[in-house]
Amino acid sequence: MTTDGAAAPSGIAALIRKHPTAWLGSALALVFLLLGTGAIVAGAAIGSGDDDGAAAPTSTGSSPTASAPEEEADAGRAVPAALPGATRLRTCSVAGPAADPRLAAFTGFVMNASTGEVLFSREGEVPNRTGSVLKVLTASAAIAVLGPDYRLSTKVVEGGNPGTVVLVGGGDPTLSAVGSSVYAGAPKIADLAAAAKAAHDAKYPGTPITSVVLDASYWNPADKWDPIWKRTEQTIGYHSEVTALMVDGDRADPTRITSPRSTDPIARAGAAFAAALGGNPKVSVGTASPSTVLAEVQSQPLSSLINFMLLTSDNTLAETLARVVSVKSGFGGSAASLQQAIPEALKGYGVAVDSLIIKDGSGLSEANAVPPEYVARLMVKILAGDQNLSVVYNSLPVAGKTGSLASRFTGANAVARGNVIAKTGWIDTAYTLGGIVKAADGTPLTFAFYAIGDGISDQAKVALDTLTTSVFQCGDNLSNI
């Protein structure tokens, strides 16, 4: 018994009471040991994750326990499955050349053709006027719809009675009224007339051809000039009216690329055919009925026509090819139909066409609108030669060597000669350039640059060359700064 009358403790209680300090130390040691063991086990679980850094799954008991506030916060925190890869820091800037005031309102786009990485963009996704860079789209559409071996035809068929023949245009502007023209290997109207006369005379002996009907209805012959185009293009000699029947691209001088064009290409073709027939037949305009073909001549294959069109930037050839694409695609061949026909033809190359506004086949219209990005992405396909697009690649001018780039990239820019393969463009309100750069470091790049502004100076060409040369020198180190 204790002094206060309580019973004395026995067993473990008595021992604790007798030695309180020793028992307190032992209890604290046990708690520390238990906590340490839990930490080690938890650490082992965290450290046993997969090689990609993901934590190993842990099982939970059937009776969950409440979490501390800190644990609840951690549970809601997103943990990445893997650390992101390192991003390359590119250090070669072309910001200075891109800001050249000679470029006026500049937009552009550059990408690595091998990796698909976008290296540079200044409103590159925004559609804008293209100038003759649009001819690359026309050529690519023609390849898709017609194929590289397609040939344009001009025929002579029987008329409604003996002595009448119908000259039927099939969209070939290269049909030549002379011995030689700017179009190498072009079919001759003299050969067509001789073959037609021989076939007619064989069928109707003693009956001369006294009437020639001109049929240019392959597309509406009245739909021949975009009101946005400047008539100076016609009078100076850059472009003809767009009819399905003409000779020599309607040039006054068939041996010159730039030569004044007439106000009636159909009549000029008819006069040349009548002269070749002889006998002074009456010439009129009409439409052929289904009838016997007396004679036919064909153009060079499409691959050759595209080569000439892109190297020399032939507007007439571009417009007629665009109309033929429309006819063959079932859209009728009108100028308005090109908005459907050309993008539809381009879809098969796998580059989105939703943002394209197509008003013509040559790029002369300021109402055309194509993003520089689209041109660059199509050029990736062209560089690869996908789906016969090698025809387009092999027809593009080469800096300092061929076509409309033969006299460009001079002075300090000469270092890029032979390494820029691109289509040039020029209208009164824009200078453009789009194509491929084989960069100094070996990287294949594709690009499109537009310099846009009312009254823009031809010095924009030099500024475009300088910018493109800077891209050539930067290669894959090109930055978007």
pLDDT digits (tens, 9 = 90+) for 283-317: 999 999 999 999 999 999 999 999 999 999 999 99
* DSSP-assigned beta bridge partners for residue 85: none
**Residues 133, 425: Cα–Cα separation, whole Å:** 5
pTM: 0.82
* Half-sphere exposure for 304 (CA within 13 Å, toward CB): 15
| DSSP label of 83 | P
Burial class (CB in 10 A: 0-12, 13-18, 19+), 153: middle
Q: What is the mean pLDDT of residues 265-272?
A: 98
Give the pLDDT confidence score for residue 85 in this predicted structure: 58
Return d(Cα 47, Cα 56) in angstroms, integer: 8
Where do the structural domains in the chain lie, given as residue ranges? Answer: 95-147+305-477, 153-300
Is residue 132 among the annotated active site residues? yes
Structure tokens at 170: 């099939």
Assess whether pLDDT exceeds 60 at residue 40.
no
How far is the C-alpha of 3 from the C-alpha of 199, rounded, in Å? Answer: 149
Distance between CA 456 and CA 453 in Å, rounded? 5
Q: Please give the C-alpha separations between residue 115 and each of 111, 291, 452, 459, in angstroms, as whole numbers.
A: 8, 56, 30, 33
Choice among 121, 140, 303, 313 that is catalytic:
313
- The span from the CA of 303 to the CA of 469, in Å, is 29
Mean pLDDT within 131-142: 98
Instruction: Catalytic residue, from 121, 135, 140, 326: name it.
Output: 135
Nearest to 133 by CA among 466, 432, 481: 432
Q: Helix 315-328 crosses helix 134-146 at what angle (to 10 degrees)?
A: 40
pLDDT for residue 243: 98
Write down the pLDDT at residue 348. Answer: 98
Residue predicted with more confidence, 8 or 79? 79
- The yes-or-no answer on residue 407 being catalytic is no
Mean local confidence (pLDDT), 391-411: 98
d(CA 399, CA 404): 8
- Whether the per-residue pLDDT at 33 is higher than 50: the answer is no
Q: Report pLDDT for 31.
A: 34
pLDDT in tens, 168-210: 999 999 999 998 999 999 999 999 999 999 999 999 999 999 9
Contact 182, 257 (CB under 8 A): yes
pLDDT tens readout for residues 61-92: 333 333 444 434 444 555 556 665 566 799 99
432, pLDDT greater than 80: yes
The reply to whether 135 belongs to the active site is yes
Contact 434, 379 (CB under 8 A): yes
Contact 332, 326 (CB under 8 A): yes
Length of the chain: 481
User: Of 121, 132, 303, 304, which residue is the catalytic one?
Assistant: 132
CA atoms in the 13 A half-sphere facing the CB of 447: 34
pLDDT at 340 over 60: yes
Q: Does domain 95-147+305-477 have CATH number 2.60.120.330?
A: no
